Chain A
Amino acid sequence: MATVERKTGGGIGEAVLRKEDRKFVTGEGRYVDDLRLPGMLHAVFVRSPFGHARITGIDTAAAEALPGVHRVLTHATLPAETGVLCASNPPGSDVRQPEQPLLARDEVRYVGEPVAIVIADDRYLARDGADLVHVDYDPLPVVCDAEAALADGAPLVHSEYPDNAAATLFHETDGFAEALAGAARTVELRVVNQRVTPMPMETRGCIGDWQQSTGEVTLHTSTQVAHFVRTFISFVCGTSEAKVRVVTPDVGGGFGAKLNTYREEFAVCSASRVLGVPVKWIEDRSENAVATIHGRDQIQYYTAGVDESGRIVALKLEAFQNNGAYHQLLTPTISHLTVFMVPGCYDIQNISIRMRQAFTNTTPTDAYRGAGRPEATHGIERLMDAIADDLGLDPAEVRRVNFIKPEQFPYSSSTGLVYDSGDYDTTLDEALRLADYAGFAARRAASEANGRYRGIGLSTYVEVCGLAPSAVTAAIGVGAPGWEHSTVRLHPTGKATVITGTSPHGQGHATSWSQIVQTELGVPFEDVEVIHGDTAFQPYGLGTYGSRSLAVGGVALYRSLGKVREKAREIAANLLECSVDDLEWTGSSWQVKGSPDRAKTIQELAGAAWAASSMPEGVEPVLEATTFHDPPNFTFPFGTHVCEVEIDPDTGRVEIVNYTAVDDCGNVINPMIVDGQVHGGIIQGLGQALYEETVYGEDGQMLTPTLVEYLVPSAADVPPMTLARTTTPSPSNPMGVKGIGEAGTIAASAAIVNAAVDALSGLGVRHLEMPMQPARIWNVIQEATS
């Protein structure tokens, strides 16, 4: 078999191939469903078919009589100390935390809410058993839309909350009202950021394994946040956190859907406790559509006060966020992130934002790639175009007059963030050049001659990532810090093990982390192994989300490498019989300054540190170091995306003909991986712009429960993309890195919608909602031309 050859070296900045991919493409990845424990039984959940109903009875007898079924557990028989916990309490928001029992007690509040678990010899029998569980429901009125839920007289999702209000965030700067009143003109826009489903390729799944004799429990689960899950298992299942081990095998995608702790994770542990054997549950695709969190679902009303140049002098946002029926891990915080990013990359000093979060009879929403920031970016970027349209200005110029300028960094935003660094004009200039913005008029004329509309759209974005300074998470009511852990261990042979608290689900940590080790310590790329995702092997870590792995976890690694290097220096000085000040670092060895023949390689020093026979005074054996890095600030990647579309007036189809992205994520470790993150991110934004929408009917039924109705773009639906980068290092960390996991998604939808609106602007079209499916666009064209 031919081996994959590295095209370049393995250090920072090189587009080295991903070392983890051979395993995945040859089928050697090990996911939860690949694990088989001795004596393991299989669980299937009985779920509510109603959006809202009272449970008047559950009859499990027929299911329990089915051969192969071991037990059917309901709320009454499944042990739990408490329900699912939410770790988000934004201060001043009057957040409400409804109880979310592991299995519904007497009421179900969304289609898919778990009611019972059937445990059987295999999945098939468990599913047969689930069909035999008889639940009596008394249907209740439903409400699925956030605005409708907050209106007077709406059906109540939780009878104890008479207004369906889940939380309200309000932020207004002094003098806002005067600034808005004094504006030369105002521009208004309503924007809907529709509900979508994260849809990782691997659904969720877990195995609970409770040791009766010791009370130890091991949970194998497909998660982004193993340690969170461990802490919460201890609370919900009632055991010591030190007895809980959470193991994350390979994870086939998360996108935020697995930045959570779910009922099923607790339920399999408790079920295993009851049955005395491991219990496995694998979510099926249809189940995933209702049982795993959704994203977005925010309705926004913007009012911008502007001057004649298009500069925003005051900005108001009244928004409605659909939280779903319960609060998952971070639900109330997601739209809080929207609040922070409302001004985008613009210098808007006067601002007023009210974010009203509502309970509805739908699956809870929570973090989905971008988590609150795509909503902010999509809104402000649509607004920029509306302002340009209103004033008859070039959308690029309106952006320029509003940009925060390079000399304003670090920049204190009117929503309380401090943007680290940026140069927004440069990415805009570069993107316009690459997209041949100047030549657009000719291309539009050519399309029109072919009977097609053509438009071009911009999205200039900034996002906040690298979550997060722990003092800030505490201040905004997130019940978790934001630091990250790393340990670097050099073996006697000079090979390295890196233990990281972040935990990949497709991002390529093993590769990027190895590159950092090679550059910072001189241990070759191939000599580095990266361990993650097992709470038994790792000190506490926070996980992978919010584009934080590199900017927080990578920096934790960088700092541990520095500690190892300095320790090695002391050992080298001792061996070379000189002072540490006489030594210089060559990239892979310590040598006496100017004397290459008097040097010790890092491998030699690792061996010497292990052998420990001639250690300097007070230096402990073994080259190993640990860091818990708490970042002083977030990081703020930015860029400009430009999209060009053609629209077929006969069918309403929007076709992306050109897509250009110029991103700035600071220093880059692996350009290929960064490109991959941008490609994937753009495709997810494109999915929301053109294809994806999770739809509930009036009766609370989900109308998009399978992949025939819920349209995820495939490779065949992706346009050619031109990617480029500028580099503005972050001053908040010694590596100058920012984060790129979410940027593409945050930027893309607005560029695409802006292009389509531009294409139809000649017809007087001023706004389009997502997804821009052909029927919707055709209707808009019909209305505009009739």
Chain B
Amino acid sequence: MIPSTLEYTKATSIDEAIAAVQAGARPLAGGQSLVPMMRLRLAAPGAVVDLGGVAELVGVCEDGDEIAVGAMTTHRAVAADPLIGEHCRLVAQAASGVGSLVIRSRGTIGGSLAHADPHGDLPAAILAAGGSVVARGPGGERRIEIGDLVTSYLTTSLADDEIITQVRLPKGNAQSAYAKFHRRAIDWSIVGVGVAIGADGVRAAATGVADRPTRLAGFEAAVNGGGSIAEAAAAAGEGLDPTSDLDGSAEYKRHLVGVLAQRAYLEAQG
């Protein structure tokens, strides 16, 4: 639990941060995933650039039919934000269930997406919401849909010199919910499911069932095709191949996906 030597700088603007990243530094957001990895020596960046001083990366505002969330906005702020609560409830709920208050007060929405933990709650919730990120590098900005951002276990399609500046959440997800199943209050999800009932149908996505957040095609097809919620729940685990581990067997996790999808759906309906 002793990290190796590293250089630390603190950026005060996005440009400064990008310059540092270009020079090889690793972005440090809330540190709730990066620091534990460094302490376990699973990560040993020679340099980190702290994004904590970049004011333009923090905050939530309305932008047309989207909500723009600064990458450095904490889980705690996301959970309490009235705009997100009104238009994208499942994301606020997912944020409110992250770890403990201490972790929510430091961990960030951008950090969660960039870290891409296969048990992370935010990636699945934002995938169900149909959200995306704005990534900026030396060459400028681009949009990446969440489904294209996370490519594998702890891996994203961000270029080495890009950082996430914003998360964009579409409005129209007022009827939505995120259901999480975990053991202790502080724990990561064994499985979590976000469900959003939008104008063009129901979208559902799960965490904890693959190397990345995963749309629940079976559930969506059943419920959008007029099936009962029980039928949809039974179909939710279709095509999923979660790993069996100390948290439970693949079969158990597939079953949980159905239970949680049903709970989230009923809650979203209100």
**Residues on A close to B: CB < 8 A?**
44, 123-124, 127-128, 131, 284-287, 650-652, 691, 695, 703-704, 706, 708-709, 711, 713-714, 716-717, 773-775, 778-779
Interface contact A708-B184, CB-CB below 8 Å: no
Q: Do B246 and A695 have beta carbons less than 8 Å apart? A: yes
Q: Kindly state whether residue B80 has any CB partner on chain A within 8 Å.
A: no
The residues in B between 1 and 60 inclusive whose CB is less than 8 angstroms from any CB of A are: 1-5, 40-41
A128 and B181 contacting across the interface, CB-CB below 8 Å: no
- CB atoms of A779 and B252 under 8 A apart: yes
Within 8 A of A (CB), among B220-270: 246-249, 252, 255-256, 259
Q: Write the nearest CB–CB distance from B32 to chain A, whole angstroms.
A: 12
Taken together as a complex, chains A and B put the C-alpha atoms of A650 and B247 apart, in Å, by 15
Q: A123-B2, A286-B40, A778-B255 are in contact. List 16 more A-B contacts (CB 8 A).
A: A44-B2, A127-B2, A284-B1, A286-B1, A651-B181, A651-B256, A651-B259, A691-B183, A713-B184, A714-B100, A716-B186, A773-B183, A774-B181, A774-B183, A775-B248, A779-B252
Please give, as numbers and ranges, the residues of chain B lying within 8 Å of A652 by CB-CB distance.
252
Contact of A778 among B3, B100, B246, B252 (CB under 8 A): B252
Which of A44, A131, A691 contacts B184 (CB under 8 A)? A691
Inter-chain CA distance A706–B188, complex, in Å, is 14
CB-CB nearest in chain B for A126: B2
* Chain B interface, DSSP helix/strand/loop, else mixed: loop
In the bound assembly, the distance between CA atoms of A651 and B190 in angstroms comes to 11
In the complex, whether B159 has a CB less than 8 A from a CB of chain A is: no
Q: Which residues of A contact B160 (CB under 8 A)?
A: none
A285 to B40 CA separation, bound complex (whole angstroms)? 10
**Is the pair B187, A127 in contact by a Cβ cutoff of 8 Å?**
no
Residues of B within 8 A of A124 (CB): 2-5
A711 and B184 contact, CB distance less than 8 A = yes
Q: Is B199 an interface residue (CB 8 A)?
A: no
Which residues of A lie under 8 Å from residue B100 when comparing CB positions? 714, 716
A127 in contact with B4 (CB, 8 Å)? yes
Contact partner, B247, options A123, A128, A716, A775, Cβ 8 Å: A775
CA distance A695 to B245 in the complex (A): 12
The chain A residue with its CB closest to the CB of B191 is A651
Within 8 Å CB of B5, what residues of A?
Answer: 124, 128
A294 to B74, CA, bound (A): 38
Give the distance in Å from the alpha carbon of A285 to the alpha carbon of B255 in the complex: 34
- Taking CB atoms, residues of chain B closer than 8 Å to A123 are 2
Who on chain B is nearest to A44 by CB?
B2
B185 partner, pick from A285, A716, A774, A779, beta carbons under 8 A: A716
27 A-B contact pairs sorted by A residue (CB < 8 Å)? A127-B2, A128-B4, A128-B5, A131-B41, A284-B1, A284-B2, A285-B1, A286-B1, A286-B40, A650-B259, A651-B259, A652-B252, A711-B183, A711-B187, A713-B184, A714-B100, A714-B185, A716-B184, A716-B186, A773-B183, A773-B248, A774-B190, A775-B249, A778-B248, A778-B252, A778-B255, A779-B249
Give per-residue flags for B176-208: 1 if the beta carbon is below 8 A from chain A beta carbons, else 0. Answer: 000001011111101000000000000000000
Which A-chain residue is minimally distant from B183 (CB atoms)?
A711
Interchain CA distance A708-B118 in the complex, whole Å: 14
B267 to chain A, nearest CB (A): 15
Give the chain B neighbours of A691 by CB distance below 8 A.
183-184
Complex Cα–Cα for A651 and B182 (A): 10
How distant is A709 from chain B, measured CB to nearest CB, in Å?
A: 6
Give the shortest distance, in Å, between A254 (CB) and chain B (any CB): 20
Closest to B253 in A: A775
* Nearest A residue to B263, CB-CB: A650
User: Which 9 A-B pairs rank lowest in CB-CB distance, beginning with the nearest?
Assistant: A775-B248, A716-B185, A284-B1, A127-B2, A650-B259, A775-B252, A717-B184, A285-B1, A286-B1
**A703 to B184, alpha carbons, bound, how many Å?**
18
A647: min CB distance to chain B, Å: 14
A122–chain B nearest beta-carbon distance, Å: 9
Taking CB atoms, residues of chain B closer than 8 Å to A44 are 2
Interface-centre pick from A123, A650, A652 (highest chain B CB count, 10 A)? A650
B4, B246, B256: the one within 8 Å of A703 (CB): B246
Please measure, in the bound complex, the distance between the C-alpha atom of A127 and the C-alpha atom of B39, giving whole angstroms: 11
Pick the contact of A714: B3, B186, B255 (CB < 8 A): B186
Shortest C-beta distance, B214 to chain A (Å), equals 20
State the CA gap A605–B236 with chains docked (Å): 82
- CA of A286 to CA of B186 in the docked complex: distance in angstroms? 19
B102-128: which have CB < 8 Å to A?
none
A290 to chain B, nearest CB (A): 13
Which residue of B is nearest A703, CB measured?
B246
- Tell me which residues across on chain A come within 8 A of B249, comparing CB atoms: 775, 779
Nearest CB in chain B to that of A287: its residue: B1
A696 to chain B, nearest CB (A): 12
Chain B residues whose CB sits within 8 angstroms of the CB of A709 once the complex forms: 246
List the A residue with the shortest CB-CB distance to B1. Answer: A284
Tell me the bound Cα distance from A771 to B120 in angstroms: 25
- Please measure, in the bound complex, the distance between the C-alpha atom of A717 and the C-alpha atom of B100, giving whole angstroms: 12
A704 partner, pick from B246, B252, B256, beta carbons under 8 A: B246
CA distance A711 to B246 in the complex (A): 11
Q: Provide the bound-state CA to CA distance between A704 and B100, in Å.
A: 21
Most chain A CB within a 10 A radius of its CB, from B2, B5, B181, B186:
B2
B183 to chain A, nearest CB (A): 6
Distance A650 CA – B185 CA, assembled complex (angstroms): 19
Chain B residues lying within 8 Å of A714, measured Cβ to Cβ, are 100, 184-186
Min C-beta distance of B187 to chain A, whole Å: 7
* Nearest CB in chain B: distance from A149 CB, A: 22
Closest to B3 in A: A124
Query: In the docked arrangement, what's the CA distance between A128 and B4, Å?
Result: 7
A774 to B4, CA, bound (A): 38
- Docked complex Cα distance between A652 and B247 (Å): 12
- For B185, give the chain A residue with the smallest CB separation: A716
Give complex CA distance A779, B256 in Å. 12
CA distance A703 to B247 in the complex (A): 12
- B contact residues around A128 at 8 Å (CB): 4-5
